[in-house]
Structure 1
Amino acid sequence: MNVFDELSWRGLIANSTDPQALSSALAGRLTFYVGFDPTAPSLHMGNLVQLMVARRLQAAGHRPLLLVGGSTGLIGDPKESGERTMNPKEVVAEWVARIQGQVSGLLDLDGDNPATPVNNLDWTGPMSVIDFLRDIGKHFPVNRMLARDVVRNRLEDGISYSEFSYVLLQSLDYLELFRRYDCTLQFGGSDQWGNITAGAELIRRVTGERVHAMASPLLTKADGTKFGKTESGTVWLDPGLTSPYAFHQFFLNAEDEKVIDYLKVFSPRGEDEIAQLAVETAERPQARRAQRVLADDITTLVHSAAEAEAANAAGQALFGRGDLSTMDETMLRNALTEVGLTEVGGPELPTVADALALSGVVASKSAGRRAVAEGGAYLNNERVTDADERLRPDQLLHGRYVVLRRGRKTVAGLRFETSAAGV
């Protein structure tokens, strides 16, 4: 199918300036851009949606410009909750470099339509305030800027001139990329629709040319809350902020009601295969086949096939269906951190009953004794029979860890200080 039709089927088009004209343009070849502001040291799940759109457009023969906002990141797009904290210039510069590496790793930088990383500080840095106000500011009626939802909602509590003017900076980006690269399509999340269309309007006012704009919907969970958040916070693409195991688990826990929608967005699989996964989810939801495919596909893309395989093996081993000793220390620590990892000190190792209680898999030492007596307590996937037996140093995985389990699903870990481990 035409890439416009594919994006529509995948649920990736929430708005566009002229759907028919854009569909026709995408039947040929064009240059497009998508932008990311360095407001954190890593991209997150919401950004990944836009990168999936960019990947599909590039695969269809279109040329990507991957903008990381070295200048817009110094200001910050207005948000409903209040004024952003302005980060130091050197911090923003560091984040620009990190995010450029992330976006470059997810698209093809070679071939007939290679992706090109760009930084808007390259054109805003040398521009004088007078030139900015004369050449850009004169095209923005203040009444229209005041009518923007985020601005109107912030007026009572106040909004700085810096954030109020952010739309001018992002619009200038589209104009500059149009001039420098003949870029004729900008897209982003639907929360950016006002900024995106303002850029298209600026190009029309300055040059008389008409260009395209498109926005993708914000992904939500079944209850309408934002997709991409966990109890511990944002799901990041940087493995140092969200481990590959935690990343894989996040998708593995996708709701049945939404997993097919997420597959359309994040998986390269086609319409027929996703339709079959929808049938399997409806008929045998307990098998969670669609969730496993989703988690494997997206972890492979963002991290690697090896990390996806390791995350699967770790999940199996943690719940008694694999060998814990085959997990390297980093994966074991990451996996236990997700289910619950408690630091333990002291001069000696605890008894089994104490360990079960310390880990939190049972509520108390007496509950640990009952679990052992009932045959439902496990240490490193081995059933334990003596609640008063003291743990031995040779039972510690990587010299520091033990995995405690009650029944089939309640798992947690302990990590011992070196002195407590006796090594």
Structure 2
Amino acid sequence: MNVYDVLKERGYIAQATHEEEIRALLAKENVTFYVGFDPTADSLHVGHFLGMMVMAHMQRAGHRPICLIGGGTGTVGDPSGRTDMRQMLTDEIIEHNCNCFKKQMQHFIDFSDGKALIVNNGEWLRKLNYIDLLRDVGPYFSVNRMLAAECYKQRMEKGLTFLEFNYMVMQAYDFMELNRRYNCKMEMGGDDQWSNIIAGVELLRRKYERPAYGLTFTLLTTSEGKKMGKTAKGALWLDPDKTSPYEFYQYWRNVGDTDVKKCLSLLTFLPMDEVNRLGSFEGQKINEAKRVLAYEVTKMVHGEQEAKKAQEAAEAVFGGQGILDNVPSLEVSKKALGGRLLDILVQKKIFASKGEGKRLIQQNGLSLNNEKVSDIDRILNESDFADGFCMLKKGKKKYYRIILLDE
């Protein structure tokens, strides 16, 4: 089966510049393609993971991915989908973030024997001479068309800076440089990158009259159109120190019923027959599909051992079976007993502030050992602990094991 048809069947493809040509190209030769990742943080997040899944499908079909890390474009910042300007990062932070990305990407893509490449666009963008750049590619960009591009529309409301205006040119230059160096024929990216991708395709076709193609994959959104991967703490990170495997597992275990099939299709390698079977479940049975989804995605990102631990922890909390050792925990000294539960939870960073804790208590959103905490001044006592621990529930779905230390 042509990998293009695989991607289409699983729901990845949003737009393509030359659909029939791309499908024919992927059938007749091993194609080098790239996806760009700007190092705006020190970890990839679940939005990046969708891109890695597309690359993995392509690689399994015999094509060669280039993971392009934006050591150059990251100095400017992509204005796509933004109403404000991105924070400018120092060179040291950009380098650190690039190194973090490289380590994480190796979990999903096989880089052995040249089967895939990790390239940093800082290698060429940081060396460019401004006048040479203008003369080299400037004639192939229409300012009128650039201003009409989707990637600039939201920034235009507050004022698009000249710094950001150059981003499209830089991304198009990347495609041209990767074509020169590695015969890269296709750029892929999230659907918010459509305008930038078209710019690169047209630059190669107009300047060199070479075949060049662009394809965007769907953004990871809920059935209501909201972006997935947002938690109370912010993004759903792939770094276990930023989002624990348990929190990661629980996120997928709690997705909306109508989003289960889509997530199974996009974020796992389960055969589509199995995806359709699990996605057809209704009522209580849909929880079986959610367990499979959460386990499969966590296994891919954090490994089988961590996925099993997360699953056992979830079953211990929600099903009354399993190993409680894997439930997120905090330790409390016996010296703290007799103090306000609220103060202890703020100190342990379960709440960001006393105000947040008070509001949750007033909304009946905090429980200790399955009993609602209704008193803001509730004291934590030794009698709350059985077998050396007690269970705390914050909100509807967050559980913590409070362990009592003898010291």
TM-score range, shorter chain: 0.7 to 0.9
User: Who wins on radius of gyration, i.e. which is larger?
Assistant: 1
Mapping 1:20-419, distance limit 5 Å: 20-28=20-28, 29-79=30-80, 80-110=82-112, 114-279=115-280, 281-282=281-282, 284-286=283-285, 288-319=287-318, 321-322=320-321, 324=323, 327=325, 331-332=326-327, 335-336=328-329, 347=335, 349-350=337-338, 390-391=382-383, 395-396=387-388, 402-404=390-392, 411-414=399-402
Q: 1:49 to 1:405 in 2, by over 3 A?
A: closer
SS of 1:136 mapped into structure 2: helix
Work out the CA distance in 2 between the residues paired with 1:394 and 1:152.
58
Judge conservation of contact 1:349–1:391 (CA < 8 Å) in 2.
no
Shift of 1:405: 6.8
Computed over aligned residues only, the root mean square deviation of the Cα atoms, in angstroms, reads 3.2
Read off the aligned partner of 1:318 and give its amino acid letter.
V
Q: 1:412 to 1:90 in 2, by over 3 A?
A: closer
Work out the CA distance in 2 between the residues paired with 1:192 and 1:150.
7
Q: 1:93 to 1:293 in 2, by over 3 A?
A: same
SS of 2:185 mapped into structure 1: strand
Work out the CA distance in 1 between the residues paired with 2:231 and 2:381.
37
Work out the CA distance in 1 between the residues paired with 2:182 and 2:397.
55
Q: 1:130 to 1:403 in 2, by over 3 A?
A: same
Q: 1:7 to 1:323 in 2, by over 3 A?
A: closer
Work out the CA distance in 1 between the residues paired with 2:6 and 2:231.
30
Point out the more displaced range, 34-43 or 155-164: 155-164
Identity of aligned residues (%): 37
Q: 1:123 to 1:412 in 2, by over 3 A?
A: closer
Q: Where do 4+ consecutive residues of structure 1 move more than 4 Å?
A: 343-346, 354-360, 408-413
Shift of 1:396: 3.1
Shift of 1:40: 1.0
Work out the CA distance in 1 between the residues paired with 2:298 and 2:319.
23
Read off the aligned partner of 1:291 and give its amino acid letter.
K
Work out the CA distance in 2 between the residues paired with 1:84 and 1:410.
32
Read off the aligned partner of 1:316 and give its amino acid letter.
E
Shift of 1:173: 0.6
Q: 1:292 to 1:67 in 2, by over 3 A?
A: same
Work out the CA distance in 1 between the residues paired with 2:381 and 2:144.
76
Read off the aligned partner of 2:46 and give its amino acid letter.
M
**Are 2:5 and 1:17 aligned?**
no
Shift of 1:266: 0.8
Judge conservation of contact 1:75–1:166 (CA < 8 Å) in 2.
yes
Judge conservation of contact 1:40–1:95 (CA < 8 Å) in 2.
yes
Work out the CA distance in 2 between the residues paired with 1:96 and 1:185.
22
Q: 1:316 to 1:356 in 2, by over 3 A?
A: farther
Judge conservation of contact 1:349–1:392 (CA < 8 Å) in 2.
no
Read off the aligned partner of 2:382 and give its amino acid letter.
R
Q: 1:411 to 1:95 in 2, by over 3 A?
A: closer
* Cα shift readout 1:316-348 (whole Å, capped 9, x = no counterpart): 2234623556x2xxx44xx35xxxx7x867845
Judge conservation of contact 1:245–1:311 (CA < 8 Å) in 2.
yes
Shift of 1:394: 8.6
Matched residue count: 383
Shift of 1:183: 0.6
* Cα shift readout 1:241-261 (whole Å, capped 9, x = no counterpart): 111111111111111111001
TM-score scaled by structure 1? 0.82
Flag structure 2 segments of 5+ consecutive residues without an equivalent.
Answer: 346-356, 373-378
Judge conservation of contact 1:244–1:307 (CA < 8 Å) in 2.
yes
Q: 1:388 to 1:355 in 2, by over 3 A?
A: closer
Work out the CA distance in 2 between the residues paired with 1:389 and 1:69.
53
Judge conservation of contact 1:104–1:117 (CA < 8 Å) in 2.
no
Judge conservation of contact 1:300–1:308 (CA < 8 Å) in 2.
yes
Work out the CA distance in 2 between the residues paired with 1:270 and 1:57.
16
Q: 1:389 to 1:197 in 2, by over 3 A?
A: closer
Q: 1:223 to 1:415 in 2, by over 3 A?
A: farther
Shift of 1:220: 1.2
TM-score scaled by structure 2? 0.85
Judge conservation of contact 1:69–1:121 (CA < 8 Å) in 2.
yes
Q: 1:258 to 1:72 in 2, by over 3 A?
A: same
Flag structure 1 segments of 5+ consecutive residues without an equivalent.
Answer: 379-386
Q: 1:131 to 1:104 in 2, by over 3 A?
A: farther
Shift of 1:411: 4.8
Shift of 1:84: 1.3
Judge conservation of contact 2:150–2:195 (CA < 8 Å) in 1.
no
Q: 1:233 to 1:392 in 2, by over 3 A?
A: closer
Shift of 1:138: 2.5
Work out the CA distance in 2 between the residues paired with 1:305 and 1:156.
46
Work out the CA distance in 2 between the residues paired with 1:147 and 1:357.
53
Q: 1:150 to 1:4 in 2, by over 3 A?
A: closer
Work out the CA distance in 2 between the residues paired with 1:217 and 1:173.
22
